[in-house]
Amino acid sequence: MALEIRDIHKHFGPVRANDGITFTVEEGSLHGILGENGAGKSTLMKILSGFYEADSGEVVLDGDVLALRSPADAIATGIGMLHQDPLVFLPFTVLDNFALGSPGPVRLDRSTARGELERVSSELGFSFDPAMLARDLTVGERQQLEITRLIWLGAKVLIFDEPTTGISATQRIQLFATLEGLAEYGLIVLFVSHKLEEVEELCDSVTVIRRGKVVFEAAMPVAPEVLVEEMFGKVFIAEGREPAGLGDPVLRLESVSVEDGTTYLDALDLETAAGEVVGLAGLEGSGQRTLLRACAGLLTPTSGRVSVDGADVTRTSYRGHLAAGVHYLPAGRLEEGLVEGISITEHLVLASDERSFFVDWAAADAAAAQEIDDYSIKGRPASPAEALSGGNQQRLLLAMIPEDVRLLLLEHPTRGLDVESAAFVWKRLLERRADGTTILFASADLDELLSYSDRIVVFFGGSVFATRATASTDGEELGYLIGGKERV
């Protein structure tokens, strides 16, 4: 038995998330799928598990071409997916969670299900109390319950999408033992990750995906520097970057601790000067966003002190931060930046600091036309935000930044933008820097980090793993650091 993925294509608008992906995984193997954020791993896994339909290409299991039109099709044909958050209904008992989604008549046959739960779980070496509520299980046990259920439903291929997110080190060891057991049991296990270390530790073979294509396949072990290079591509350093004329300190964090859901930053110190650009590197969810939101006043530190231009803003509200010259540009342009159904003119009026009760729409439209020209936005004053492309939405957001900003906090400022828009965004940002604005930006793009930062702070697992002056590092080292390893 083998799982063959043949020439899978999937695009979303102009974005080719999967661009001809082909590879084969043999029975009983633990196969790693590596790639940076946005490489196309998740799209491929969603196709395998029936959430998306591929535009073209085939998935073949044991010689049969599978028709994957829904998650139900996927599990019926033997492909089971374990999501980052196990799909467990917390208020239900273990038994009800197990029996849920089973095929068959309407009546829920609890006694049969109980027998099956015991049989399958003991085969896999798990043990459950069927009457226990799912909410009382650990995350690891919830994963085991989900695995048991999928195997009972006939899964021959199990996909684990970043399964180590949010679980403890002990649970991780347990999970890895489980995964190895499943491979020995004769299943095909796909382990999707962007953590090098885990793939090195666990997998028999690996496929690296970059920009929707398979760029590398090999049996493990493979030297980590090879994997880093395959994941991120060759990194080119942009030339001719002006060295920043650094001024007085603007932002200062003194042993700041802050919590945001599952991410916890502990005792962070950071000082940035006027005109400095600091890049925040790291995998998604490693703490960069938490830091940005804490600096913006959206999260209140549990301890420590934050100051901007010498003024303590630790306990100041978000609007207080705005008044202090802090401006935050989140990654979700239509979710947290712009308002759907509201025009370019209206956005610029919202962002302006004028206070008159009535709006002079004729003047506002004229001013908007000027900004559209200045920022080369493809749109008219009356165009609603959702009608603009990502690049033009970002240009509009740039146009909305007030003049006298001291600290600019940017989350993935060029994500999803074409080269021209990205270059434009940075041209405008660097102009701000020349005026003495400090820029702090999070990015997953190594080129961007190396091209525009004076300093790069690398986050791993919720804390600062390393800080490097851009001049003294390179893409290869960053790749290591992002994966949580020092270069040897």
Identify which of residues 54 and 228 has a Cβ nearer to other proteins in the complex: 54
Helix axes 169-184, 139-152, angle to 10 degrees: 20
Coil, helix or strand at residue 133: strand
Number of residues that bind other proteins (CB under 8 A): 28
Judged by CB under 8 A, the stretch of 164-172, 216-224, 282-290, 342-350 that binds other proteins is: 342-350
What CA–CA distances, in Å, run from 227 to 19, 234, 258, 467?
20, 12, 33, 22
Task: Give 369 or 401: the residue with its C-beta nearer to other proteins.
Answer: 401
Binding of other proteins at residue 351 (CB under 8 A)?
yes
User: For residue 476, what are its two tokens?
Assistant: 């290869």
In the complex with other proteins, the residue whose CB is nearer, 136 or 340, is: 340
**187, 155 contact by CB (below 8 A):** yes
Strand, coil or helix: 457: strand
Stretch of 58-66, 338-346, 428-436, 446-454 lying at the interface with other proteins (CB under 8 A):
338-346
Q: Does 328 bind other proteins (CB under 8 A)?
A: yes
Length of the chain: 488
Residue 369 CA to residue 241 CA, distance in Å, equals 32
Q: How far apart are CA 191 and CA 178, in angstroms?
A: 12
Q: Judged by CB under 8 A, which of 346, 365, 445, 477 binds other proteins?
A: 346
366 counts as binding other proteins under rule CB under 8 A:
no
Q: Return the number of the residue (54 or 95) whose C-beta is nearest other proteins.
A: 54
Angle (nearest 5°) at CA 15 between 11 and 17: 55
Site string for other proteins, 413-442 (x = CB under 8 A): ------------------------------
Choosing from 280, 398, 400, 442, the residue that interacts with other proteins (CB under 8 A) is 400
Residue 404 binding other proteins, by CB under 8 A: no
Binding span for other proteins by CB under 8 A among 29-37, 333-341, 375-383, 437-445: 333-341
Asked if 78 is part of the footprint of other proteins (rule: CB under 8 A), the reply reads no
Q: Which of 2, 108, 267, 359 binds other proteins (CB under 8 A)?
A: 359
403 is an interface residue for other proteins by CB under 8 A: no
C-alpha 246/C-alpha 438 separation (Å) is 9
236 binds other proteins (CB under 8 A): no
Nearest residue to 250 (alpha-carbon basis) of 486, 41, 435 = 435
Instruction: Work out which of 350, 363, 382, 423 binds other proteins, going by CB under 8 A.
Output: 350
Put residue 177 in one of left, alpha, beta given phi > 0 → left and psi -120 to 50 → alpha.
alpha
Residues 6+ away with beta carbon under 8 Å from 383: 343, 344
Span of 54-62, 110-118, 259-267, 343-351 interacting with other proteins by CB under 8 A:
343-351
Smallest gap from residue 283 Cβ to other proteins (A) = 23
Q: Does 354 bind other proteins (CB under 8 A)?
A: yes
Q: Which residue type is seen at 208?
A: V
Nearer of residues 340 and 431 to other proteins, judged by Cβ: 340
**Does 367 help bind other proteins (rule: CB under 8 A)?**
no
The yes or no reply on residue 218 touching other proteins (CB under 8 A) is no
Give the nearer residue to other proteins in terms of CB position, either 208 or 364.
Answer: 364
User: Residue 361, interface with other proteins (CB under 8 A)?
Assistant: yes
Q: How far is CA 1 from CA 30, 71, 78, 433, in A?
A: 14, 21, 12, 58
In this complex, which beta carbon is closest to other proteins, that of residue 350 or of residue 434?
350
In angstroms, how far is CA 219 from the centroid of its own chain?
27
330 lines the binding site for other proteins (CB under 8 A): yes
Choice between 388 and 456, CB closer to other proteins:
388
Within residues 263-322, the interface with other proteins by CB under 8 A covers 318-319, 322
Task: Write the binding mask 30 to 59 for other proteins: x where contact by CB under 8 A, - elsewhere.
Answer: ----------------------x-------
Rounded Cα–Cα distance for residues 50 and 77 (Å): 10
Q: Write the DSSP string, 188-247.
A: EEEEEES-HHHHHHH-SEEEEEETTEEEEEEESP--HHHHHHHHH-PPPPPP-PPPP---
Tell me how far apart the alpha carbons of residues 147 and 153 are, in angstroms, rounded to a whole number. 10
Rounded Cα distance, 272 and 155, in Å: 52
For position 339 contacting other proteins by CB under 8 A, the verdict is yes
Candidates 116-124, 212-220, 239-247, 340-348 — which segment interacts with other proteins by CB under 8 A?
340-348
Q: Does 337 bind other proteins (CB under 8 A)?
A: yes
What x-and-dash track marks residues 369-398 binding other proteins by CB under 8 A? ------------------------------
Q: How far is the CB of 389 from other proteins (least distance, A)?
A: 15
Say if CB 289 and CB 443 are below 8 A apart: no
**Number of Cβ atoms within 10 Å of the Cβ of 369:** 14
CA 155 to chain CA centroid, nearest Å: 28
**Binding footprint of other proteins on the chain (CB under 8 A):** 12, 52, 318-319, 322, 328, 330, 334-342, 346, 349-351, 354-359, 361, 400
